Structure formats: structure tokens, C-alpha cells
Structure 1
Amino acid sequence: MDTKSKEEENTFNQKRLKVSSGGQMDMDLNSENSSNGFSTQINLEKLHKMAAELILLGKFLLKLLNAALVFVTDLLARILGSKLVRGHFHLMLSALVLFGPVLSLWVPKYSIFANSNNYLYRKFLKSTLGWTCIFSGSFILLLSISARHPRSLLLRHLSRIGVVGLLWWVCQRLLTLLEDASGTCYEPLTPARDIQGSSVQLLLHEDRTKLSCLKANMVWRGYEVSQDVLIVCLCCLLLVEEMSVFGPHLAQGKMSPGAPLRFIFLLCVVLLSLSMFLLLCLLAHFPKFPAQHLGGALGYLGWRVLYQGWYRLKPSWGCPALPGEGLFTTTDTHKPQSFKKPQ
């Protein structure tokens, strides 16, 4: 009996130990799970706080950038809209084309801009008109939306860009025909072929155009007009004319222009500065007299015919209208006296 009672007592103690250990294990698991949940909750709270701080920082930076954009565009709009720039920019551009080649006496010959294969010449120069049409067309579109122009007036303003593109296409074709008609292609002779020792060094090829002559690495001689200077001058004058209305638009104060309009205006100013720098590099590093002066004169003539002539006619004549036409309205006239273009 004593042995059985001892065995029963031992088994009972073992079961009680198992139950207590199991309970202890359950308590440990529960405490571990609760601690994990608490740490997860803490991590989520930290993430929410970090996200809120980042959002506040982003809003502050956006406000700072917007304030800088407003300040810069207001300053540039006042400069480009002033009578000094609107009335005398073409004179400054003419002086640059006239005296720019003189800078070739001082510019370094081994500069990166003295290389005709520079990316600025190979890519940007060929697409100057395209970038000008894109930026100025976007500016006209957003300005018309901001001023609540009717759709018909918006199309008339955008037609100015199409007229400039058509004018450039016609000028390219006419200049190419004139150069082919007035020039001649020559092939340089090697010493082996020049047996008689005469002074003739070139072989005439009358059936070649300028493009085919240059592709064959031959020499082309004839009258030439710099199409690069022509299109850059025309684009600079176009940008100044189109952007000069932004200052009077801001002066009205009826509706504050949005950030997209200001940003496009800033891009137009950057494009104008880059075009002026490109023109200066062409004149200083690759002077060609009188080809560049003829190109600048034709660009000035195109601007004079369009913005100082045709666009000033009445709308009944099929006129695309001046920049800002219909944007400024008063009780007396559709266009205030202070905004009229200088003659």
C-alpha cells in the first residue's frame, strides 16, 4: 500500500508540473505576442510621423519653389515688356550680327565651341525653329486659357506660329535654288593628274548641286546666305514679340497666372538666351562675310514684314492679329495705347 501510494503521488506531482509548465509556456507565448503587437504598433506610428514630416517638407519646398518662380517670372516679364526691350531689341540684334564677327580676333581657337561638330551646332541649331514653335505655341495656348480667350481668337494667335514655319520653308527652298543657280562645283586635282604643271587646281562639275557637291567632298564656290543666322535671328525676334505681352497681362491683376504658364514663360526665356548665345558663337567662331550679314538681314526683314506690317492690318484682311490682341480690353478700345508696338 505504501509503495502504490508513493507511485500515485509521484504521477500526480508529474502531471501537476506538466500543467504548471504548460501554463507558464502559454503565458510566455501570450506575453511575446503582446510585445510583438506593441512593437508593430510603435513602428506604424513612427512611419505615420515620418510620412507626415515628409509631406510637410514637400509642401514647404513647393511653396519656396513657387515663390521663386513668381519672383523670377515677374522680373523677366517686366524686362521683356518694357518699351526699351520691345522697341530696341531688333537694333541690339542687328548690332550683334554686324559686329559679332569681330570677336573672332579674341576668342580662343581651341574652345569647345570652336568645333563645328559640337552637339549644340549639330542638334540644337537644326531644331531651333521646332523648339521655338513648341514653346511659343504652348505659351500662347496657356495665356489664352488664362485670359479666357474665345476659341476663334486662340486659333488666330496660334496661326502666327504656322505663318513663321511656312515662311521658313519658303525661304529654304528659294535660297537653295538661288545658291544652286549662282554657284559652281569644283573637284580638287591631285599632283599626279596635274601633269603639265599648269596653275589650274580645280576641275569644273556643272551638273552638281551644292548639296551633292559637298557630299562628294568637293569645293563649292558661289554666293551664299547663312540660313543658320537667318533662322536664329527670326526665332529670337519671334520669342521677344510673343513674350512681351506677359508683363501687361500680369499688370492687369484680374487673375493670377498659374504655375504652368509661368514655367512655360521661363522656358521661353531660357530658349531665347540659348539662341542668343548660339548666334554669338556662330559669329565669333565661324565668321562668314557677307553670308551671315545677309542671313541676319533676311531674318530682320521677315520679322518686319510680319509683326510690323501684316499683323497690324485689320482682321477683315485675314490678319492673324498681334500678340495680345483681345487680351487687353478697356471701355475705349480693344488695345490700350501703352501696349501698341513701336513703329
Structure 2
Amino acid sequence: MEHLEAFASWTRKSCFNEVSRRHAAWGLAVISLVGSLVKEQWPLPDSYFNNKKNVLNVYFVKVSWGWTFLCLLPFIALTSYVATRSLGTVFRRLGALLVGSMIWFTCTKFFILIENATGTCYNSSALLDIRPGFTDKRSCISSGGFWDGFDISGHSFLLPYCTLMILEEAAVAHFVRFEKSWQKHLINFLTLSLAFLIFVWIFMFFCTSIYFHDFSQKLLGTSFGILGWYVTYKQWYLMPYSPGLPLRSANKEGKRGYNK
């Protein structure tokens, strides 16, 4: 357990720090731009990671919001309760996950709507023979056709959004003192789990940038992800009627559970 504690402590200092939070959005934008430039100008040969059936894509990226939600739920609940001993604060802060779910659902549905509205059903990817009578991607593909529409990159949206949200929420562990051993062990495990997710999200975001979609589809997807984070954590969560921001410093009022 000592090694786990040391590794988790190092992870908090190296990954979930102020510098990471301040510059992550710019870093993700650069990854998207540079990766898209590489794809357009210097296409890379096929690899394991541009196969959509690779392990990280199938078991992690395709359910990336589920993994993010699953790890952040106990993390937010535990840190909020230990810091304030207030169930009201816990439920308020968990509201950030509800907001995140609404952003994920709304943007995903919007992307599908755009792809259906701009698409046409063809017999094959050669885009030569149109299949009349199909107005959405699902029915076209289920009939054996190929749908060609403006496909805003869902991965370029969700992976940056999940990354930025984790960085905002996980930084609180610097400022909360866990008095019970089970709390320390659980928070260490969750810290390492969140760090692993960030590594996977950023790596697969990079793979998306260099292998999939065109420039405008990735740019729009990334913009939606960063905008979702900015509107919530940099604007709305500063206001009274919101889930509120995670704790940013040791409590100066002497409330229980903070470092002093």
C-alpha cells in the first residue's frame, strides 16, 4: 500500500496540477491541429490504432463517457463529503456529472442530426450510384448501403471534454485530508484510475487526429468539447445556481476535512 500511496501522490503532483489545468485545452487544440495537418499532408501507414476494432477503442473510447462517469462519481462524492461533511454539497457537486451527461447526449444527437441532414445513401463507398428513399444513416447502412454525410467527429468532441473534466475534478485531492485508511486507499485507486483514463483519452484523441475524419470535422468536434468545458467550468459553475467548482485550495475557514 505504501507504493500505491507514493505512486498516487506522484500522479497528483505530475498530472492533476494547476499547470495541467491551465494549459490542457490549448494542448488538446494543438494535438487536433497538428494531427490533422499530418493526416492531410503526410498520411501515415495503417497501424493497429487506425483499426476501429483495437482494444482501446472497443472497450474504452466507445464508452468513454461511461468510464469517466464511473470513476468520477465516487471520487467527487468522497472528496466533497470528507471536505465538507455536507450531503447537500455532495449532491450539488455530483450535479456536474448530470450536466456532463446532458452535454454528451445533446452533442451526440446533434452530430447525428447533422450527418443525417447532409448525407446521401450510396450503393458503395465509391459514391457512384445513389440509393433513393433513405433519409438517415442507420436505415441506409442496415440495407447494405454506404452513407456519406458531414460526420462531426464524436471522438474529437468527447475525449477532450472527458479529459478536461477529469483534470478539473481530480485536482481537489491536493486539498482534502483523508483521515481513515479506507478513504486513502480508495482515493489513491481512483486517482490512478483517472490518470489512466486521461492517458488513454489523450492517446486515442491523437490517433483520431492523425488517422480519421477530415480537418473540419475534427476541428468542430474538438471545439464542441472545449466549449462544453469552458461554458461550464469557466463560466456557469462560478455562479450560485450551479453545481459549483471543485475545491481549489485548503479551507481557510477551518472546516473539517481540509488540509490546514
* Superposition TM-score tier, normalisation by shorter sequence: 0.7 to 0.9
What pairs up with 1:1-343 in 2 under 5 angstroms?
A: 66-104=1-39, 105=42, 107-109=44-46, 111-188=47-124, 201-249=128-176, 258-314=184-240, 318-324=241-247, 328-331=250-253
Whole-Å Cα distance in 2 between the matches of residues 328 and 187 of structure 1?
A: 62
1:174-220 superposed Cα distances (whole Å, 9 cap, x missing partner)? 22222212222223599xxxxxxxxx932242533012223333232
Deviation of the 1:163 alpha carbon: 0.9
Q: Distance in 2 between matches of 1:189 and 1:114?
A: 18
Structure 1, unmatched stretches of 5+, are 1-65, 191-199, 334-343
**3-state DSSP class of the match of 2:135?**
coil
SS of 2:123 mapped into structure 1: strand
CA contact (8 A) 2:120 2:130 kept: no
TM-score normalised by L of structure 1:
0.67
CA distance in structure 1 between the partners assigned to 2:239 and 2:254 by the alignment: 19
Deviation at 1:169, TM superposition (A): 1.0
For 1:68, the aligned partner's letter is: H
Q: CA contact under 8 A between 1:187 and 1:205: conserved in structure 2? A: no
Percent of aligned positions with the same letter in both sequences?
A: 26
Q: Which amino acid aligns with 1:280?
A: F
**What is the CA-CA distance between 1:132 and the residue it aligns to?**
0.2
SS of residue in 1 equivalent to 2:155: helix
Q: State whether residues 124 and 145 of structure 2, in contact with CA within 8 Å, keep that contact through their aligned partners in structure 1.
A: yes
Counterparts of 2:219 and 2:101, CA distance in 1: 22
Q: 2:115 and 2:190 mapped to 1: Cα distance?
A: 38
Shift in alpha-carbon separation, 1:114–1:174, aligned structure 2, 3 A: closer
Aligned twin of 2:258: none
TM-score, normalised on structure 2? 0.86
Question: Which residue number in structure 2 is paired with residue 42 of structure 1?
Answer: none
Q: Kindly tell me: are residues 202 and 120 of structure 1, through their superposed partners in 2, closer, same or farther at Cα, counting changes over 3 Å?
A: same
Higher relative contact order (Cα pairs below 8 Å, separated by 6+ residues): 2
Maintained 8 Å contact 2:156/2:205: yes
